[in-house]
Amino acid sequence: MIRSLRPISGLTAVLLLVAAGSTDAAPVAKNGRIVFQRLDPRLGKTRLYTVQADGRGLRPLTTPRGNDDGDSEADWSPDGRKIVFRRFVNRGLPNERLDLYVVGADGRVLRDLTSATCARPCLSNEEPAWSPDGKRIAFARTIGPVPANGGPPPIVGIFVMNADGTHVRQVTQRKPNSGTEDHAPSWSPDGKRIAFMRANNTAKPQEASAVWVMNADGTHAGVLRSMSHRWPGAGAPAWSPDGTWILYSTSCWFGDCGQPRTGAQLFTIRPDGSGSRRLTHLSGNVEPGRWSPDGRKIVFTRNVRVGPAGDVYTINANGSGLRRLTRAPDLDAGNPDWGRRG
């Protein structure tokens, strides 16, 4: 559904390869720049920026023009050369829509991925995530029409397409009007599974949400972690580079959701549902985060006051070592992702 600008990352870490009686350690992935969305007060538009992991070298990446706005929800390609993101196209006009675009890491060669395959009643495309091999992109697509009573559209589900926008396949919500909607896909490092968040609209218990895991083709889907009813719309996941943890937040992933004004935190859980642990104990709301390519750190946004986002922060993977990278909370930074390139 078209919603407020927020939101969670194909990565690689140190893996142990065992073959023919010998072992070889894969090289450690390099942590590069961090991409995130933030308001540009001069343009009056939300655009993408990148920054170094120490907070230096802030620079804009995209520039929406005309009636386009709201560049957000960026995700680095596994090789660090491209970024896929959401753009609010023709905002305020009868044909407004959310589409996915890809751009080079230098801000050049912008290309629309979804408008050609999203004819009405397709309403929006959001929350893109590259597969670990860089050949596919998972995303959330909304299929209308919007009911006259203002209820949810028939389908808000997870789709997968080739990285060039072709061969779109629907993998969840194949039956319309299920009473639920799916968001925030995140691939396992081997590309065989996808974690995502499912939220109840009219299904019972209403407004509840949960982290789910399924095979990449949509089969064998099951609940990994149910969210507390006091955090509706929570549970946007991010799979760790080594595959051992799934990161999630109790912050609402989409819309207002009626969530508490403060208190959202980051948690991790193993892919089999065991070992849930809380990582952060911070004031304000901690938004959904992403892992660094080497798996040793996590990047997220947080507003110490009441608000949907604020500034970009990093922590170590065990929750220690809080570091603030930006200092402009009124510009509402959100949805950071950590790339491989400098």
pLDDT of res. 1: 43
Domain assignment present for residue 6? The answer is no
Average pLDDT over residues 40-53: 97
pLDDT in tens, 7-17: 333 333 322 22
Judge contact between 337 and 9, C-beta under 8 A: yes
Which tokens go with 284?
Answer: 């304000």
Domain assignment present for residue 1? The answer is no
Which range has the worst mean pLDDT, 4-18, 63-77, 104-118, 310-324? 4-18
Q: Is the pLDDT of residue 24 over 80?
A: no
Judge contact between 294 and 29, C-beta under 8 A: yes
pLDDT of res. 254: 73
pLDDT of res. 20: 33
Domain assignment present for residue 196? The answer is yes
Decide: helix, strand or coil at residue 127: strand
Entry pTM = 0.91
Q: CA–CA separation, 292 vs 290, rounded Å?
A: 7
More confident residue, 17 or 200: 200
Average pLDDT over residues 289-316: 90
Count structural domains, the chain. 1
Residue type, 139: F
Domain assignment present for residue 83? The answer is yes
Give the closest residue to 294 by CA, choosing from 270, 267, 317, 268.
Answer: 317
Residue type, 50: T
- Bridge partners of residue 284, in order along the sequence: none
pLDDT of res. 309: 67
List the CATH number of the domain containing 41: 2.120.10.30
pLDDT in tens, 144-199: 998 888 889 999 999 999 999 999 999 999 999 999 999 999 999 999 999 999 99
Average pLDDT over residues 287-299: 97
Name residue, tokens 């023709």: 90
Domain assignment present for residue 85? The answer is yes
pLDDT of res. 13: 30
Domain assignment present for residue 195? The answer is yes
Q: CA–CA separation, 10 vs 16, rounded Å?
A: 18
pLDDT in tens, 223-248: 999 999 888 889 999 999 999 999 99
- Residue 223 makes CB contacts below 8 A (sequence gap 6+) with 210, 211, 212
Which tokens go with 57?
Answer: 């070298």
Domain assignment present for residue 4? The answer is no
Domain assignment present for residue 147? The answer is yes
pLDDT of res. 307: 60
Domain that holds residue 76: 16-338
